[in-house]
Structure 1
């Protein structure tokens, strides 16, 4: 029988994360569909994740594949970008923090085209401002002097 081991591993990880969320939300009041309690959404998303994980797992059967090698460089740069964003946001504002995070995360891939990074950083910063500032109305400074 042919099995894609990478898909099996991916499906099991998604199922485990969904189960973790559903179990954690079971301590909260669920409420009803009309009056949702604090546990309703995380529990529902946990169940949905478990279902999607099962679909990923089932799609692994009938084709061959192997577990891909782990990309340590990408993981370190992406986690570093998230940490840098969290550290810079209260000190410099949304725009510089988003730009810095994109630049650091882009350095994590050898396939990154350096001339495209400034455009990507500008697009992410503008998108973050539109989503968080304009649509959601979250009050955060766009630019702040760190001095």
Structure 2
């Protein structure tokens, strides 16, 4: 194997921090195209710019923390986590399809259940309990408290 196939566990923090910084920068730049306003009268761009700046700062702290914790000689091959990637992508697709044809509750239960199955430590029972719990929270927060204009159930 070449050195390019080797990765240490701290490189994930570099990549994760860099990705967070990139997403934060994108959100801040896009948010600047809207009126930012002030703390007293926030405009539509205030939240994306603030969130973007916070993401950049958190990403930088993660990358700096990885640099501080990186031992020089510890390198080993870590296989890609294909199960996690596939489950996350499938859960987003399931949310999109079920959100249109099934409603908010089935879409929420599906996205949480399928995403939870991406973790090898989760069992079917724990993923099901987590998804049902998030379904209850979804009903309370989004449907009842916030009155989100997204039907709870929808057939068709």
Structure 2 length normalisation: TM-score? 0.78
Q: 1:93 maps to what in 2?
A: 103
Larger relative contact order, structure 1 or 2 (CA cutoff 8 Å, min sep 6):
1
Specify whether residues 117 and 63 from structure 1 end up closer, same or farther in structure 2 by C-alpha distance, changes over 3 A only: closer
Specify whether residues 106 and 53 from structure 1 end up closer, same or farther in structure 2 by C-alpha distance, changes over 3 A only: closer
Report the alpha carbon displacement of residue 90 of structure 1 after superposing the two structures with TM: 3.0
Report the alpha carbon displacement of residue 123 of structure 1 after superposing the two structures with TM: 0.8
1:11 maps to 2:21 = no
Specify whether residues 68 and 10 from structure 1 end up closer, same or farther in structure 2 by C-alpha distance, changes over 3 A only: farther
1:113 maps to 2:119 = no
Specify whether residues 56 and 68 from structure 1 end up closer, same or farther in structure 2 by C-alpha distance, changes over 3 A only: farther
Structure-to-structure mapping, 1:1-147, within 5 angstroms: 4-64=10-70, 69-146=79-156
Q: 2:3 maps to what in 1?
A: none
| RMSD (Å) for aligned C-alpha atoms | 2.3
Structure 1 length normalisation: TM-score? 0.82
Specify whether residues 28 and 94 from structure 1 end up closer, same or farther in structure 2 by C-alpha distance, changes over 3 A only: closer
